[in-house]
């Protein structure tokens, strides 16, 4: 059963959702604990879930995949799938659980994803992607968006990209998020596909000139708010990926500099202290500390004592009996051997 609206309020559920800055969906990284942590640094940056397949939601434990804390809003759900009926069904689930946007993954190049007929390989089937978007648009009132590449394999002409984006615009897609690299479906790993194909920001900028009425968000290789600001003079949004995960403090000034809000910027210590009550609640619910602490390791990047703090967390968070004191500045003595897990 989905949660009640009172449990999961959704403060921003219109096509005017502020997408000027967002953190990319990243498999095994942007889970609910990561999103809660990032939300303590920036109140308004749009956050995305990990990609969740339609099969997992239809046949698996949807509560495990969809539950989130009200503090995470605004938050988008990214779906992986290609069957329009399944996409519509899962989009309804996401909307019922309070997600502020539904996003379709047309960018992941992994073999597993290709075998399931979703991700980047769908760029070769713009009609099918458009059918999926249309089905989701009919099923939900929240924005429906697509994240895709600029091309795949040898199918990387600008004309094919225009045809793909044009098909999405025609069915009312609310925004496209364009990873400014092509994807090689054979010969490169997913990790290599994040680095080896050259970035083509010029292609995304040209798309905006050709589709001025469509919200276009750029993704790929952007590491600073200054870079983001430069793109925002032309484009509708910027999505930052792994830099925001490994160096999350780049988001500390995002609300003021990018998103038009002016709350006082938090301190790193204040963010850590604010995370503690959440971690305690999760520990009480049976979540191991290590499932949460791994997302915090970049918080003090470049600060004095950061290495020792990270080392203590890495050495102690996985031990039986590890509590939130492991995360504290200054920490505690190592957990006694009697409390360590069996060898």
Contact 85, 61 (CB under 8 A): no
Structure tokens at 10: 């959704």
Q: Determine the Cα–Cα distance for residues 48 and 76; give it in Å rounded to an integer.
A: 5
Contact 139, 122 (CB under 8 A): no
Q: Determine the Cα–Cα distance for residues 134 and 278; give it in Å rounded to an integer.
A: 38
Q: Determine the Cα–Cα distance for residues 328 and 170; give it in Å rounded to an integer.
A: 52
Q: Which of 34, 90, 108, 121 is catalytic?
A: 108
Structure tokens at 171: 């069915």
108 noted as active-site residue: yes
Helical pair 126-139 and 84-96, crossing angle rounded to 10 deg: 40
Beta bridge partners of 42: none
Residue spans of alpha helices (H) in 211-327: 225-231, 242-246, 254-257, 268-284, 289-293, 306-316
Establish how many alpha carbons lie within 13 A of residue 147's alpha carbon, considering only the half-sphere containing its beta carbon: 33
Give the residue from 274, 269, 229 showing the smallest Cα distance to 39: 274
Q: Determine the Cα–Cα distance for residues 79 and 102; give it in Å rounded to an integer.
A: 7
Q: Determine the Cα–Cα distance for residues 132 and 82; give it in Å rounded to an integer.
A: 7
Q: Determine the Cα–Cα distance for residues 74 and 18; give it in Å rounded to an integer.
A: 9
Q: Catalytic residue positions?
A: 108
């Amino acid at each position: 059963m989905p949660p009640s609206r009172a449990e999961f309020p959704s403060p921003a559920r219109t096509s005017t959702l502020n997408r000027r800055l967002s953190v990319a969906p990243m498999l095994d990284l942007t889970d609910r604990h990561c999103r809660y942590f990032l939300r303590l640094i920036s109140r308004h940056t749009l956050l995305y879930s990990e990609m969740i397949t339609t099969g997992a939601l239809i046949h698996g434990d949807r509560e495990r995949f969809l539950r989130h804390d009200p503090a995470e809003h605004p938050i988008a759900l990214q779906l992986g799938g290609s069957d329009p009926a399944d996409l519509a069904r899962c989009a309804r689930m996401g909307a019922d659980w309070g997600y502020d946007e539904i996003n379709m993954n047309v960018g992941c190049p992994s073999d597993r994803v290709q075998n399931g007929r979703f991700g980047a390989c769908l760029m070769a089937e713009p009609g099918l992607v458009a059918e999926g978007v249309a089905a989701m648009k009919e099923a939900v009132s929240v924005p429906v968006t697509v994240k895709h590449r600029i091309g795949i394999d040898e199918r990387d002409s600008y004309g094919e990209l225009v045809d793909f984006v044009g098909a999405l615009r025609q069915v009312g897609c609310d925004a496209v998020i364009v990873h400014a690299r092509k994807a090689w479906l054979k010969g490169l790993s997913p990790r290599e596909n994040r680095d080896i194909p050259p970035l083509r920001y010029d292609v995304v900028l040209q798309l905006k000139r050709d589709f001025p009425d469509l919200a276009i968000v750029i993704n790929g290789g952007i590491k600073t708010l200054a870079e983001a600001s430069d793109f925002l003079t032309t484009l509708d949004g910027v999505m930052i990926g792994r830099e925001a995960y490994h160096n999350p403090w780049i988001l500390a000034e995002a609300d003021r500099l990018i998103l038009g809000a002016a709350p006082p910027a938090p301190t790193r210590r204040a963010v850590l202290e604010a995370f503690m009550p959440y971690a305690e609640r999760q520990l009480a619910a049976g979540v191991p500390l290590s499932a949460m602490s791994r997302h915090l390791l970049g918080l003090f990047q470049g600060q004095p004592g950061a290495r020792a703090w990270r080392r203590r967390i890495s050495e102690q968070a996985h031990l039986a009996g590890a509590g939130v004191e492991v995360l504290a500045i200054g920490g505690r003595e190592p957990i006694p051997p009697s409390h360590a897990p069996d060898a």
